Amino acid sequence: MKDALYERSKDKILLAVYFAKGMIEELGKEKALEIIGRAYQKFSNDTFSEPFVDVPMEKRFNMFKEDLVAKAGQESHLSIVEESDSHIKIRFDRCPTYEVFAEYGIPEVCQKYCDSDFEAFRYVHPNLKVTREHEIAYGDAYCDHCWTLEEQGA
């Protein structure tokens, strides 16, 4: 048995793992990953903004940052690297989602999941830009996620 963090992640995504494996088997890896990528994008676009639906746009980024800071206080694999009024950068020292997909032999599915962030966070706030220099799903030792609230029209 793996640790509790791994097991929680596995519980959340195991059905997706089996769907992905079945699609790859039936459709081939390239076609299946294309469909999985589109599905993750739709899922992320619809779900990332849910906690903020009733929050005024001007308060969303602060609420988002407060949530990240709280999570960093609870999760040992997540830390705040930088924070300002319009910017927050975090570091993940491990990615249990990646660990699960890799354990089942389909690590590239996690890449599709991660790739959906760039568009999806625009649904949280239209001026919210996501950048990354490192991603575990792409072979790095850690992930760094940076969110910047750009000025209107930037």
- What are the backbone dihedrals phi and psi of residue 94, each rounded to the nearest 5 degrees, phi first? -155, 160
Pair type for strands 78-84 and 128-131: unpaired
pTM surpassing 0.75? yes
- What are the backbone dihedrals phi and psi of residue 134, each rounded to the nearest 5 degrees, phi first? -135, 140
pLDDT at 35: 98
pLDDT at 151: 86
* Per-residue exposure over 38-49, b if at least 16 CB sit within 10 Å of its own CB, e if not: ebbbeebeeebb
pLDDT at 152: 74
pLDDT at 153: 60
What is the Cα Rg of the chain in Å? 16
Question: Do the Cβ atoms of 149 and 86 come closer than 8 Å?
Answer: yes
Question: Do the Cβ atoms of 116 and 40 come closer than 8 Å?
Answer: yes
pLDDT in tens, 56-111: 999 999 999 999 999 999 999 999 999 999 999 999 999 999 999 999 999 999 99
pLDDT at 154: 53
Q: Is 82 helix (H, G, I), strand (E, B) or coil?
A: strand
Tokens, residue 24: 């790859």
Share of the chain above pLDDT 70, in %: 98
| CA–CA separation, 44 and 33 (whole Å) | 16
Distances (CA, A) of 145 to 10, 118, 132: 22, 10, 5
Domains and CATH numbers, the chain: 4-149 (3.30.1380)
Our measurement of the distance from residue 39's CA atom to the centroid of its chain's CA atoms, rounded to an integer in Å, reads 14
